[in-house]
Chains A and B, each alone.
Chain A
Amino acid sequence: MLKTGRLFALAVLLCAPSQLLWAGEISVETIINKTNCVSYYQGDDGRAKCFMTITDSQGRIRRRKFIILRRDEAPKEGVEGEPDQYCGDQKFYVYFQRPADVNKMVFMVLKHVAGDDDRWLYLPALDLVKRIAATDKRTSFVGSDFFYEDVSGRGIAEDTHELLETTKNYYVLKNIPKNPATVEFSYFKMWIHRQTFIPVKIEYYDQRGEKYRVYEALKVDTIQGYPTVIKSRMKDLRTKGETVIEYSGVRYNMGLPDNIFSERYLRRPPKKYLK
């Protein structure tokens, strides 16, 4: 599995120039699929230490520190040399360290592309494991300007996609929700980098066509061959607050075992993978 990933990374690098050549004919489906892969599915698993800075309209700052572990429920029959096109179910394990009073808190998600996700919360101070049900995924992620859905990824089947234009560096996509009642936006625009397929900017528009929320990838690095966003920002134009996440210690293909994404490990974090 690890090998496949590396080979895939190599393939991406090798393919880059040729991609540019046939970019003109690329379909919207291909763009959105690749974007989805690059954003949430690089490698078979991954880890990042996240440093979150939430700044409100008055410049008051709150900080959070947590580690995200992610594992893809990848198909076993991955073909070597072929780009990994897997974008199915995933598991996330979010381990909080700061502020000190939420140290050891864990948030776990079993993401199902078809159907609702399973979410668990472990609150160490109450020694409580709780399943969380939510009617929608567009709620704040631990009080930040990022939504839960921004962290785990929005299913590409939930929107219709339209290529608005292709600029020198970007594909500009307009995404319209198929079920508008479950979301607060009427559409969102994505600026997708043509070479890396990283969404560099996302703008959300409300029912009146007013822009109210903006995501930006501020820093990108290539880690183990994967183009990786290592600093991003979400701005809420209504509350005038913003949240910046800086990612460090990013590693792909660590060989995370499946069993750590279980209720048992909520109380006993897998320290080995968190260092």
Chain B
Amino acid sequence: MKIGSSIVRFSVDRPRLITGLMLLATIFLLLTATLPSIWPHTFSALHPVKIDTDPENMLPKEEAVRVFHDRMKRELSLYDMIVLGVVNEVHPDGVFNPESLRKIYELTEYAKTLHWQDKENPAKRVGVIEVDIIAPSTVDNIEQGGLGVVKFEWLMSSPPKTRAAALAVRQKAERIPFLKGTVISEDGKALCMYLPLSSKDISYRVYADLKEKIATFSGDERYFITGLPVAEDTFGVEMFKQMAISAPIAMLVIFLLMFFFFRRLIFIISPMIVALVSVICTMGLLITTGNTIHIMNSMIPIFIMPIAVLDAIHILSEFFDRYQETKDRRTTILNVMDTLFVPMLYTSLTTAVGFASLALTPIPPVQVFGLFVALGVMLAWVMTITFIPAFVMFIPQSSLENFGLAFTESDANTDSPLSRFLPWIGRITYQHAKAVMVTTLILAIIAGYGISRIQINDNPIKWFTPSHPIRVADRILNKHFGGTYMAYLALIPGQNGESPGQYADALADALATRTEELGAEIPAIKIVFGALGGELVRLSRTAPSRTELLDALESFADAQAGLAPADQFDAWDEALLFIDQQRQREQVFKQPQALTYMAGLQKYLLTISVVGKSNSLADIVKTVHRELLSGDPKQFRIPDSANAVAQCLITYQNSHRPHDLWHFVTPDYRKSSIWIQLKSGDNRDMARVVKAVDNYVAANPPPFNLTPQWFGLTYINVIWQDKMVSGMLQAFLGSFLVVLLMMIILFRSALWGILSMVPLTITIALIYGAIGLFGKDYDMPVAVLSSLSLGLAVDYAIHFLARSRSLYERYGSWSATAGPVFGEPARAIARNVVVIGVGFLPLLAAPLVPYQTVGMFIAAILLTAGIASLMILPSMITLFEPWLFPKTPTRSLSCQCTTCMVVVVLTVALVAVNVHQFLSVGWTSLTWVSLTTILILAGICILMSRRQGCKPKPPA
């Protein structure tokens, strides 16, 4: 590798320059990343640190489901809510005792004050939206106030003084469907208040303030705060603590391990510097390029650190072994770098490719994560081949005096467990190669079964450990209430295909009927409605739409009414009323059929186990109707006419909170939504509800072409998860093909290339099979790990096969080679597994589950990949020795027809996967294009391999 050795030579010759450049770049990136956060105004051109823990951002902002979600939230004035639960399991009346209710009242009053001036826009207020708080003292009660009297009042205008008054609050609330199971629990032990927030990012502040207030209370009540916005915001705060703890601990562990292996402080400082600089530069670049720190990319440092140290360990290991041969640091380092340059390049590249392939997923935070880890890995590689040699030149020759001696001694000691264990493995793979392969096959089949059982699921609340206050609150509150996870099902009428002309005809018919009805009562009706009919005919020829037709008709009637003689006055009044009635027919959600359908759908929803409760416009109408009709339970129904519905609703609006209605329906009564309370925020459960509703709607066609459409955070999570799964599969396929191509090029053989992919394929199959078998949810971190394991696991195969090939050249047969291969090369791999695997283990102590998952799985992946490489590869070599080590000398890549063809197929497949991802070209047309390309290129392969230069040279 000429370029390689010249780079190394340059570094060795100018160590100060290299170090200086590296320091300069690091300081520059560090400053550009941190200064704008400290002095945002002075450095306004640069990007400050931006944090984003919102799972919504797993999808791009312009994604259809998010656009719809935002629109419906705006149109129905819905906000993300903090749920504050108060539970009293000690008092016989539960929370419905004067003391508990007084605290709840006080807490509500306190929550009302939790809003502040917006820092960026002083005219705006951020925090709890006071008018929309749902709590016993902020909602209305409607009930019977004696014979023929209906009574409206605050449910709890002030804290009750007596036991009877406290119990009355419960009794009243239980009669209101909206409150039962939402504000009060069925068992009376618990009460919930819902605090809507102006924006999610304020929730941690509200959460912290509430906790402070609660701390001033004493008594038997227990307080629980939950809700997705709190979870997300709290996660952001914990994430930072995590980054400040996990990354340094990982670094410390790696440091200690290296100290254990090499026992020279001065020497192991250099890999630590490489790791630190790679992390700083990558994170610096991430921030200066304006990317936000998301849950995913907060893990970047922990990913880069062990990988960055990896190559340096190889160099040190070699340097350690060889130094005593020459006792010259320059010669030693040049020799070491010469041996390791190509394997290091390939291992780094494959790791980078594994991560970079994440850019193929349609999830922006995962894309950013993948690209920046890939960047970090390559940065670490550059520094390893420049800075490490430069650093070696700084070490005074004198301090290297006894270097490597201690190690050589202990290494030579054949009694060390590793030195006995590895050759034993080697013998097994040679003597029982077939058994190893059969075992592998059986394991692969079991893994396949496991993979088929994988559960795709995620839930942001479950990102916290089970003992975290948020998880506890989630568990307790969902036990007492209908569920704290809110999903919204919007119902929107489909387009009415009627043309203005057809509409006018229908209108004319209605007009005629009405003329009949009123004819006797108002004599002038015939003349007036006749005039209206005439205008209708005229307008129907020109009006572009139904609304414009009605508007024009109304202005006509208005003008005529103004001019009309006194005896026609009543008739014109009727005409105007008629027009308004026609207009109101568009108000779908005042129509009894629409509300009845809604109520039916809600009844069905309750049969799904995860649905605890639902609230809708239908419930409001039914409740008001019942109370208007003397509280008769039989009257808890939708009234028979649209007018009756409208009159119930206007009565409802005579309350303290008339705007509550607009959370359920838009003021034009064209869009309505059902609030569905779920007991679980698992995507899997939400997906089940979605499917059930689809089935219901298919079996029961809704009136007015109502189309159900979901929104809400719980639903958005389902959508990005779907995208993640399919995206990850493509990303994995893409990186698999790239790595395979690289392996073929590295080994100049399709067979060797495929061979090198076997251990990682088995590793991934086993890991994901285990996930399926043990029922661990396939969530975000698990999905990302497939690409990671691909990049890391292939490293062992590269090292093992490269060393095996070179040793084979020396020994001439696998039986003779196997022994030495299981000496030093196998030890290097084993050591590697230990350093990186253990390096990731500090993540297990993290209080956040995604970090734990990553820590555990990386360790498992490395272990499995290590074992797979050391067992499967030698067994396969044993079995396929004649094909892997042909007697004919190796020819150039282009002369090997089969290899060339495999390369062609892989390249075309790779292009196809990528094109499919980014241009969303259908598979069928793409398949044809791919096949043609493959055929043409295969032809070229055949021609190339038959050319003169490829003819085997006659034996000399």
Contact = CB atoms under 8 A, between A and B. Distances in A.
B149 A123 contact: no
A161 to B, nearest CB: 25
Contact of A130 (B75, B628, B661): B628
A239 B667 CA distance: 15
B643 A139 contact: no
Interface string A129-149: 011111110111111100010
Interface stretch (B50-58, B358-366, B652-660, B936-944): B652-660
B638 to A, nearest CB: 12
B115 to A, nearest CB: 10
Contacts of A181: 157-158
A144 B583 CA distance: 21
Contacts, number: 119
Nearest to A129: B148
B647 interface: yes
Contacts of A62: 667
B644 A140 contact: no
Contacts of A141: 654
A100 interface: yes
A196 interface: no
Interface in B652-681: 653-659, 661-662, 666-668
B650 A102 contact: yes
Best-buried of B569, B639, B650, B655 by chain A (most CB within 10 Å): B650
A128 B151 contact: no
B131 A101 contact: no
A31 interface: no
A241 B650 CA distance: 17
B157 A101 contact: no
Contacts of B151: 132-135
A58 B30 CA distance: 45
A139 B657 CA distance: 8
Contacts of A140: 653-658
Contact of A135 (B157, B577, B662): B157
Interface in B134-177: 145-146, 148-154, 157-158
Contacts of B153: 134-136
Nearest to B582: A100
A205 to B, nearest CB: 14
Interface in A126-174: 126, 128, 130-136, 138-144, 148
26 contacts: A56-B667, A57-B77, A61-B667, A62-B667, A98-B580, A100-B583, A101-B642, A101-B645, A105-B650, A121-B651, A123-B647, A125-B644, A125-B646, A126-B629, A131-B149, A132-B151, A133-B146, A133-B151, A133-B152, A135-B154, A136-B153, A139-B655, A140-B656, A143-B650, A181-B157, A239-B131
A264 interface: no
B647 A102 contact: yes
Nearest to A61: B667
Nearest to B580: A100
Contact of B653 (A60, A99, A143): A143
5 nearest CB pairs, A to B: A143-B653, A101-B646, A125-B643, A133-B145, A100-B580
Contacts of A272: none
B164 to A, nearest CB: 17
Interface of A: 56-58, 60-62, 97-103, 105, 121, 123-126, 128, 130-136, 138-144, 148, 181, 208, 238-239, 241, 275
Nearest to A181: B158
Contacts of A132: 149-152, 654
Given A123-B628, A133-B145, A238-B131, A143 B643 contact: no
B581 interface: yes
Contacts of A135: 151-154, 157
Contacts of A57: 77
B126 to A, nearest CB: 14
Nearest to B649: A143
Nearest to A140: B658
B502 to A, nearest CB: 22
A64 B605 CA distance: 36
B74 interface: yes
Contacts of B657: 140
Best-buried of B131, B150, B646, B651 by chain A (most CB within 10 Å): B651
A238 B112 CA distance: 12
Interface of B: 74-75, 77, 113, 130-131, 145-146, 148-154, 157-158, 569, 577, 580-581, 583-584, 590, 628-629, 639, 641-648, 650-651, 653-659, 661-662, 666-668
B363 to A, nearest CB: 32
Given A135-B154, A238-B131, A130 B656 contact: no
B198 to A, nearest CB: 12
Contacts of B149: 130-133
Contacts of A239: 131, 659
A102 B646 contact: yes
A172 to B, nearest CB: 25
Contacts of B644: 123, 125-126
Contact of A128 (B628, B655, B658): B628
B157 A128 contact: no
Contacts of A275: 569
Contacts of A56: 659, 662, 667
Given A134-B151, A135-B151, A239-B131, 18 more contacts: A101-B642, A102-B647, A123-B644, A125-B644, A126-B639, A128-B629, A130-B150, A131-B150, A132-B150, A133-B145, A135-B152, A135-B153, A136-B157, A139-B656, A140-B657, A142-B653, A144-B658, A275-B569
A123 B584 contact: no
A100 B581 contact: yes
A101 B639 contact: no
Nearest to A241: B659
Nearest to A141: B654
B577 to A, nearest CB: 6
Contacts of B150: 130-133
A61 B662 CA distance: 13
Contacts of B655: 139-140
A239 B79 CA distance: 13
Nearest to A236: B131
B771 to A, nearest CB: 47
A125 B590 CA distance: 13
A139 B645 CA distance: 21
Nearest to A63: B580
A57 B651 CA distance: 22
Given A130-B150, A130-B628, A133-B149, A143 B654 contact: yes
B650 A142 contact: yes
A208 B641 contact: no
Given A102-B650, A126-B628, A130-B150, A58 B145 contact: no
Contacts of A241: 659
A101 B151 CA distance: 23
B646 A143 contact: no
A123 B743 CA distance: 82
Best-buried of B130, B148, B666, B667 by chain A (most CB within 10 Å): B667
A207 to B, nearest CB: 8
Nearest to A240: B131
Contacts of A58: 74-75
A54 to B, nearest CB: 8
B313 to A, nearest CB: 61
B74 A105 contact: no
A128 B659 CA distance: 25
B338 to A, nearest CB: 71
Contacts of B647: 101-102, 105, 123-126
Contacts of B645: 101
Contacts of B148: 130-131
Nearest to A123: B647
Nearest to A134: B152
Nearest to A126: B644
A23 B628 CA distance: 51
A62 B665 CA distance: 14
Contacts of A134: 151-153
Contacts of A139: 152, 654-656
